[in-house]
Each structure stands twice: as C-alpha cells, then as structure tokens.
Amino acid sequence: MQTRQLGPFSVSAIGLGCMNLSQGYGAPITDQQGERVLLQALDAGVTLFDTASLYGFGANESLIGRVLKTHRQRFTLASKCGMTGVDVNGDGKLVRVIDGRPDTLRRTCEASLRRLQTDVIDLYYIHRLDKTVPIEDSVGALSDLVRKGYIRAIGLSEMSAATLRRAHAVHPIAAMQTEYSLWTRNPEIAVLQACKELGVAFVAFSPVGRGFLAGEPLQPESFEANDLRRSMPRFEGSNWEANARLLPAYRRLADEVGCSPAQLALAWLLQRAEHIIPIPGTTRVDHLQDNLGALDVTLSADVLVKLDALINQHTVAGSRYNAQGNLDAQTEQF
C-alpha cells in the first residue's frame, strides 16, 4: 500500500470515508454489510478511517468501535466534533447543530471515545466553523485534549485558508478536510496552497463527486427521500441535464486510460499533489476494491489536460450545496 504523511502519521494514500455506512445516500445499510466493508478495507491495507460524531448521530462511531476495536493498532482513526445531533425541541428528535464552544467539544470527545471504544482518537477535526466562537478558542480546547492524551492531532473541516492560518498559530493543524474532486475545485482558490505552505495534509472527501464520477448512471429523480443529493443544486433540473452531458466524454477518457471512471477521478487527485489524501466512501466491497485500484493508475500529461478542460468550475452547473450548506461551509467560493 502506498502511503502519505498526515501530521505525525503515515497513512494509506487512499483512506476510507465511513459516513456512507450510516447515512447520506438513502437508507442505511445493515451493520453486517458495514462490518464487511470496514474489515475488507483493513485487510486491503487501508490505514485511515474517517468518521464523525454527526454521522448517524453516533451510530457510525459505534459501528467502527464495535468492528475495529480489536484492530486498533493497525490504523489511524479520525473523527470530528463541532457539529452534532441535538434534541433542540425536547421531542426526542435530533437535529444538526454547529457548536464550537470549548465545553461542547470536550463533551463530544468524551462521548466519541466511548462509542469508538478507544482511549485516544488519532486525528480530531472541528467539523464546521462555529461563527459565534473564535477559532482560537475551539482549537485551544482541542489543544487541551492533546495535552490530556485524549487526541493526538487536530484537524479542520470545510474552513478557509485564513481560518487555517489562525488555527495553526494556536496549535499545529495536521489536516484540512474539504470536498475536492474534478467537479469541486474550491480548494484550488487558496486552501491547497495554504496547506502546502504550513505542512498540513489535505484530506479530500467526496473525491468521486458524490457518485457523479463513479461511472454508474445516476437518476436523481429516483434518489431516496433522505439522500443528501436531493438538496444539492447540481443534481436538480437543468443543472443536472448540463452536468450529465459531461459524462460521455469523461467515460471515454477512462476507457482511453484503461481504468474505471472512479479510478480516473481518484488518480487525478493523487497526482495533483503529494499532500492530498482522498477518502472515498462506499457501502460495497466491489466499489472499495475498485477505488483502491486507482493507486495503480498513472495519468499522462495529455490526459490530465483533457480532464481539467472537461470538468472544472466553469463547466459544472450549480452550486455544490444549497444556500444553508454554503453558509455552514466556510470554504472560499468561486
């Protein structure tokens, strides 16, 4: 397995985003199916597993804790705080709340440690910026957790280059996690360069464009009611029609290279820079194996030029998030 550096950790060049095992794209899969994916990933050499307290409102962390606790020394464990499920109305229904207050982050970490059945979380991200709390205060709280031995390294998710620099001045930031793929280029505005300058790993989530670049035909009108993509403008109406027209040429490029469409997307990311680590998610073992096959794909300069010209911020129609999602993410916008 090829490796890349993430703070103090040497991790597999492709990690596993675990959210899909509990939520995101339709009905959750069974725990047995999730267990198969996690153990197959571990056996295939994946050593970076990425979860969050938000995913399934704790269910994802609980799954990972149950399945992987006996293998804890074999992988780097990443989780997130600062965006959790809260019973706001007192009716037993959890809703997503962004809360970066130090006391909240400490309580979230303690709960995550219990669910993950571990004494320490290797990499702990602040999931989203709480715009009512200075980032220095939130990072300061995580710095205390490092000193106490609850976490080993600190990360940020979906934040700007300016916020990264402010956070890094308080405590070294090991990783920035943000959506990045051929069809989501926002990190190229400033964050990728800031990460390179500061020695911060860049962890790319949704590296195959939420399935858009995975090769299998998508039919947004058939997405289940709880599929996140139902609220994403790129999968709606005329935006989707325009984006779908990009796919035939994209698939032809994959055929030209001799790889799958998902491998093409991942290989493109891997060749962008050495500090980029994609974490595709999947609920299927065959897709997991296909994703990891990207490590054996090398793209020529000519193919890279064609890819960049075909799918980029100018050719993709629609925002990646709806209005609320764009407010929650602090990343730079084109």
Catalytic entry in 25, 55, 180, 321: 55
- The answer to whether 55 is a known catalytic residue is yes
Query: Can you tell me the distance from the alpha carbon of 156 to that of 175, in angstroms, rounded to the nearest whole number?
Result: 6
Pair of tokens at residue 285: 């073992």
Look up residue 43 and give its DSSP letter: H
201, β-bridge pairs: 175
Burial tier of 66 (Cβ tally within 10 Å: 0-12, 13-18, 19+):
middle
Cα–Cα dist 276/271, whole Å: 9
Angle between helices 102-116 and 135-148 (to 10 degrees): 40
Name the helix (H) or strand (E) containing 309.
helix 301-310
24: phi then psi, degrees, rounded to nearest 5: 120, -60
CA distance 12 to 277: 8
Task: Name residue, tokens 């804790």.
Answer: 65
Positions marked catalytic: 55
